[in-house]
Amino acid sequence: MRRATIVSATVLSAGLVLAGCGSGDDAGTGDGGDGPVTLTFQSLAFQPESIAANQQIIEQWNADNPDIQVEYLQGDWASVQDQLVTAFEGGTAPDLIHYESSYLQDFADRGWILDITDMVSSELRDDILGGAWEAVTFDDAVYAVPFLLDAQVIFANKTLLDAAGIPVPAPDDPWTWDEFAETSKQLTDADTFGVAWTLKDPANRMLNLALNFGGGFFEESDGASTVVFGDGEKEAFQRIYDQLYVDKSAATDAIGMGGSDPLPGFFAGQYAMLPKGIWFRQQIIDQAPEGFEWVTIPALKGDSQAQAAAPQTISIAAESEHPEEAMAFLEYMLNPENQALLAKGDWMIPASSAAAQDPILTETPDWPVAAASGEFLEQAPFQRVRGYEEWKNKVANPSIEEYFANSISLDELGTRLTEDGNEILERYNR
């Protein structure tokens, strides 16, 4: 496949592809002198196809740009937060950092990543969806390039849908939450639950779903954030709770699951539907038994289909000795052709409008549903909250898990999220 090197005019005018632009190696660069510049890129790709796509792009860049070489480093989502904090504090961060937008505010506040507002080419800026740019922009400064987007959809056992006479909704005519609840009840019998909600570490997911009903969870006044828990925030919680404990159309044994844990039950017909991210198509394709028929159902609609645009991103470390060379590679890595390759590897939605039209994506299973999912992604209030990650990990995740385990009431959940949460946020608001 052709790999066209796209470098901004600013970068080209700086003469960055000339030999001899290497310097010291403290920030992961070359040995100095007349050798090539060496940049380190830490990727969090974990699926084999995605890792291969990253490495293919880097290999082509290195072949075409002998004076700016990129070294691939493999990161791990499970440990990356602690690893990056340690690296930033110790002055050993990679030049280019793959992560997700919800962590960027804290990194920017600490001066760990660069403001690249004036480094992004007009071609790249115009190609990427506006909602994705909003997720990486703080106080009018851009701190990363967004490139992969996710959205919550529903995967269903098509054989069970067909047997019940339930048609698959089209992307432009999605189920409402009420229709989904009725469908879940219709698919529930002695052998099958209508739906399996996997709710391990559920905070991000629930805050996303709350946007369907206008629930923002956070309000800001005079630069200070506070947690709120009103009707809009409560709605998705109550609806899922009712499926679990009132309608009993949702499997209680699935609420502690995460990742691919529910797939054996899904394949066996124990669960008719699985709400998951659009990327989960790849897991089903890889693991489904021969002859298993499945379908992707569009995101549910409450007052809207709104979900948070929380893209995966690539930033440049503030300590990098070669930020312009890093930006040149970043422009190449995230051009439309390469974004399509990366999105295919992770079975996600590219932030690039042009990449979304690439045949390698449009020919993937249920691509119309995936492509439509990118249209309702927007910036969410929690993406602007300093202290959000601590609130999520210390208060929200454990409290929400207790609520769905039927250990605390919805009112108690709200008290914990607001009172305990605001104690945390108060430290960040000072």
How many helices (H) does the chain have, and how many strands (E)?
Answer: 20, 16
Do residues 336 and 352 lie in contact, with contact meaning Cβ atoms separated by under 8 Å? yes
| Count of Cβ atoms closer than 10 Å to residue 123 Cβ | 15
Do residues 217 and 229 lie in contact, with contact meaning Cβ atoms separated by under 8 Å? yes
Do residues 310 and 100 lie in contact, with contact meaning Cβ atoms separated by under 8 Å? yes
In the structure encoding, which two tokens stand for residue 268, read together? 């066996």
Do residues 308 and 383 lie in contact, with contact meaning Cβ atoms separated by under 8 Å? yes
Do residues 21 and 325 lie in contact, with contact meaning Cβ atoms separated by under 8 Å? yes
Q: How far apart are CA 386 and CA 378, in angstroms?
A: 19
Report the DSSP pairing between strands 37-43 and 294-297.
unpaired
What pLDDT is stored for residue 375 in this prediction?
A: 84
Report helix, strand or coil for 273.
strand
User: What predicted TM-score, i.e. pTM, was given to this entire model?
Assistant: 0.85
Do residues 59 and 341 lie in contact, with contact meaning Cβ atoms separated by under 8 Å? no
**The CATH number of the domain covering residues in 9-149+310-353:** 3.40.190.10
Average pLDDT by consecutive 10-residue portion of the chain (430 residues)?
35 34 39 79 93 97 98 95 96 97 90 97 94 90 96 97 97 97 98 97 94 95 93 98 98 95 98 96 94 97 92 97 98 97 94 94 91 86 87 97 98 98 91
Do residues 159 and 293 lie in contact, with contact meaning Cβ atoms separated by under 8 Å? yes
In the structure encoding, which two tokens stand for residue 95, read together? 């030049």
**The CATH number of the domain covering residues in 152-308+381-429:** 3.40.190.10
What pLDDT is stored for residue 103 in this prediction?
A: 86
Q: How far apart are CA 135 and CA 100, in angstroms?
A: 10
Please give the C-alpha separations between residue 215 and each of 228, 231, 395, 424, in angstroms, as whole numbers.
9, 8, 18, 20
In the structure encoding, which two tokens stand for residue 221, read together? 């006044």
Report helix, strand or coil for 112.
coil
Q: How far apart are CA 312 and CA 138, in angstroms?
A: 16
Q: What residues contact residue 78 under an 8 Å CB cut-off, 6+ apart?
A: none
Residue type, 210: A
Q: How far apart are CA 80 and CA 78, in angstroms?
A: 6
DSSP state, 288? P
Burial per residue of 9-43, b for 16 or more beta-carbon CB atoms within 10 angstroms, e otherwise = ebbeeeebbeeebbbeeebbbbeeeebbbbbbbbb
Q: How far apart are CA 354 and CA 335, in angstroms?
A: 9
Longest dimension (CA), the chain: 73
Do residues 243 and 184 lie in contact, with contact meaning Cβ atoms separated by under 8 Å? yes
Q: How far apart are CA 338 and CA 307, in angstroms?
A: 25
What pLDDT is stored for residue 373 in this prediction?
A: 87
What pLDDT is stored for residue 33 in this prediction?
A: 56
Q: How far apart are CA 353 and CA 346, in angstroms?
A: 17
Backbone angles phi, psi at 273, to 5 degrees: -135, 145
Q: What residues contact residue 173 under an 8 Å CB cut-off, 6+ apart?
A: none
What pLDDT is stored for residue 374 in this prediction?
A: 84
Query: CATH topology of 9-149+310-353 equal to that of 152-308+381-429?
Result: yes
Domains of the chain by residue range: 9-149+310-353, 152-308+381-429
